[in-house]
Amino acid sequence: MDKDLLSIQEARDLATTARDAQRIWLHATQEEVDRVCSAMADAAFQAAGRLGQMASEETGYGVAAHKKLKNEFASRNVWESIKDIKTVGVISRDPQRKIYEIAWPMGVVVGLTPSTNPTSTVMAKALIAIKARNAIVFCPHPSAAKCSLETTRIMADAAERAGAPKGLISCFENVSLEGTQELMRHKYTALILATGGSAMVRAAHSTGKPAYGVGPGNVPVYVDRSADIEKAARYIVGSKAFDCSTICASEQSVVADKPIADRLASLMQAQGAYFVSEAQADALRRTLFFENGAINSATVGKTPQVLAALAGIDVPSSARILVARLNKVGKDEPLSREKLTTVLGWYEADGWEAGCDRSIELIQFGGRGHSQIIYATDEKVIMAFGLEKPVFRILVNTVGTLGAVGFTTGVMPSMTLGAGGVGGSITGDNVTVYHLFNVKRLAFEITPPPEAALAPAGEVTKADLTAQEIEAVVRGVVEEILRLQ
């Protein structure tokens, strides 16, 4: 049988098995749910190093040690953030309003995962899905199929040993576009949780199914004259170099306030930033991007030395990141795009207002709704950035890579970062367990209906009604006429 037909059949089988398992899991108690999820998190955490190595070797992206850290975060930190959240039965009660809120799972969730963060994304999505009493079927990126499948197997085995039904967590083995489309459109699929490139997110939204689609970011980092410049330099270089910039919230361009720009550049150089010449920048432009603006996948998640070899340029062995001085944003400047590798743009702006404008330019060019970083101590400047930027994570005096996912900040730990309506997402939140169950409301009467609403038609006269009741009746008639039209 052809691979695409095998994949389509596998999609149908996985969806059916997941539906059957979820029907059983629907009746799990909170204690059972938490026991299973805890076992999953422990198993994933113990395998973090091995899975990080697998992901790095299979994809050729990033740094194995950094992927281990991401796996530990996606298992331990994500679980710690959701373990005390109620997801079974009555989850809250309002005595005054006489309302009970009851959690209800989505059903079968399809998890699309990227090649840049394959194992950590599987871990985080599996935990939030099972905690909410869903089943989940993973569709991995083809270039990360083996490590994604192994991560799924580890978590599924741990879940089943702890009492979960078989088939509650599964992953494609015969990965294909046709199989993925079949699964996303399958009648048993209730929700799609898509993390990856723009094409993947568009495909998820085009199925007609509810979808949380989160895609690219083009994250600017503004460094104000009031900032701790030494800290900013150390954090920016370290964050951009972390896992060779494969997290979508990694820094893409520095916008340096003019009075401190030279000092910031010098301090960044001391941390391993190599500022390329214009000729070298041209070579990087041609190497990183195709003419249509798409990134060359061969350059994703690579060290400066590998990029230099691909571009035919020389860079020091000590370089941790490459920095290109730029003066414009848009299609005519490829390096102003998102760069999922160790290349950083550099702009200078005189004053925070100009820095704000440049940041918005960068956000509008491929990063709407995602993230912005600011280094400053001036509260007025910080608040202005928070109020004015069309993004849903404004990170203050911290690293972009680990700040946006909730490692170094108080935002909800997640590997799936919503970009809100402006970025084509249904939410601007860090997607977590709250997004994977619905809430039923058991509502008791607190206000009796007006007598006019209960009286037989024709028995109520105008004189019997109060002015408020007359207004309500008229409004109801008008609304009914408009509805029928």
Return the CA Rg of the chain. Answer: 26
Banded pLDDT at 485 (limits 50, 70, 90): low
Cα 422 to Cα 18, 237, 394, distances in angstroms:
33, 29, 15
- Give Cα separations from 34 to 43, 52, 80, 221, 416 (angstroms): 14, 26, 11, 39, 22
Instruction: Please tell me the distance from the alpha carbon of residue 296 to that of residue 252, in angstroms, as a whole number.
Output: 16
Q: Taking residues 191-196, what's their average pLDDT?
A: 89
- CA-based nearest residue to 91, from 24, 30, 28, 22: 30
Q: What is the mean pLDDT of the chain?
A: 93
- Structure token digits, residue 346: 């550099």
Asked whether residue 435 carries a pLDDT value surpassing 60, the answer given is: yes
Write out pLDDT tens, residues 446-463.
999 998 889 888 655 555
Using the predicted structure, report yes or no on whether residue 201 has a pLDDT greater than 90.
no
Residue found under tokens 């992927």: 67
Helix axes 64-72 and 118-131, enclosed angle (nearest 10):
10
> What class is the 219-411 domain?
alpha beta
Of the pLDDT bands very low, low, confident and very high (cuts 50, 70, 90), residue 207 is: confident
pLDDT for the residue 236? 98
Instruction: Extract the runs of DSSP E, i.e. beta strands, from 361-434.
Output: 369-375, 391-396
Q: How far apart are CA 44 and CA 15, in angstroms?
A: 24
Question: pLDDT value at position 195?
Answer: 85
Distance of CA 437 to the CA centre of its chain: 17
What's the pTM? 0.90
At 284, which helix (H) or strand (E)? helix 278-288
**β-pairing, 99-105 with 437-443?**
antiparallel
At CB < 8 A and 24+ separation, what contacts does 406-410 make? 406/77, 406/81, 406/430, 407/73, 407/77
User: What average pLDDT does the segment 303-320 reach?
Assistant: 97
Identity of the residue numbered 45: F
- Cβ–Cβ under 8 Å, residues 336 and 291: no
Burial class (CB in 10 A: 0-12, 13-18, 19+), 469: middle
Would you say residue 228 has pLDDT above 70?
yes
On the question of pLDDT at 96 being above 70, the answer is yes
Q: What would the mean pLDDT of 304-318 be, rounded to a whole number?
A: 97
pLDDT band at 202 (very low <50, low <70, confident <90, very high): confident
Length of the chain: 485
Nearest to 190 by CA among 127, 129, 124, 141: 129
Give Cα separations from 247 to 51, 116, 148 (angstroms). Answer: 17, 7, 17
Q: How many CB atoms lie within 10 A of CB 75?
A: 28
Q: Could you tell me how far CA 160 lies from the centroid of its own chain?
A: 27
In which band, very low, low, confident or very high, does the pLDDT at 345 lie, cut at 50, 70 and 90? very high
Whole-number pLDDT of residue 215: 67
Strand segments, DSSP code E, in 51-173 are 90-94, 99-105, 108-112, 135-139, 169-171
> What stretch of H or E contains 322?
strand 321-325
What is the C-alpha to C-alpha distance for residues 96 and 211, in angstroms, rounded to an integer? 35
- Residue 378, pLDDT > 80, answer yes
Q: What is the DSSP letter of 88?
A: S
What are the start-end ranges of the H helices in 162-247? 177-185, 198-205, 229-241
Alpha-carbon distance of 59 to 335, in angstroms, equals 23
User: Bridge-partner residues for 100, per DSSP?
Assistant: 93, 442
Residue ranges, comma separated, of all CATH 3.40.605.10 domains in the chain are 3-215+431-439
Percent of the chain scoring above 70 in pLDDT: 95
pLDDT one-digit tens code per residue, 391-405: 999 999 999 999 999
With a cut of 70, say whether residue 478 has pLDDT above it: no
Confidence category of residue 213, pLDDT binned at 50, 70, 90: confident
CATH 3.40.309.10 domain locations along the chain? 219-411
The two tokens of residue 195 are 């993390």
Closest CA to 79 of 151, 129, 128, 152: 128
Among 42, 71, 41, CA closest to 54: 71
pLDDT of 477: 63
Catalytic residues: 248
Two tokens, residue 475: 């409004």
Per-residue pLDDT tens digits for 55-91: 999 999 999 999 999 999 999 999 999 999 999 999 9
Residue, of 53 and 201, whose pLDDT is higher: 53
Of 170, 176, 172, which is closest to residue 129 (Cα–Cα)?
170
- What pLDDT is stored for residue 449 in this prediction? 92
The pLDDT score that the predictor gives to residue 196 is: 76
Domain covering 3-215+431-439, topology: Aldehyde Dehydrogenase; Chain A, domain 1 (3.40.605)
| Cβ contacts of 447 within 8 Å, gap of 6 or more | none
d(CA 209, CA 397): 39
CB-CB contact of 424 with 213 (8 Å): yes
Pairing of strands 135-139, 108-112: parallel
Of 355, 349, 419, whose CA–CA distance to 381 is shortest?
355
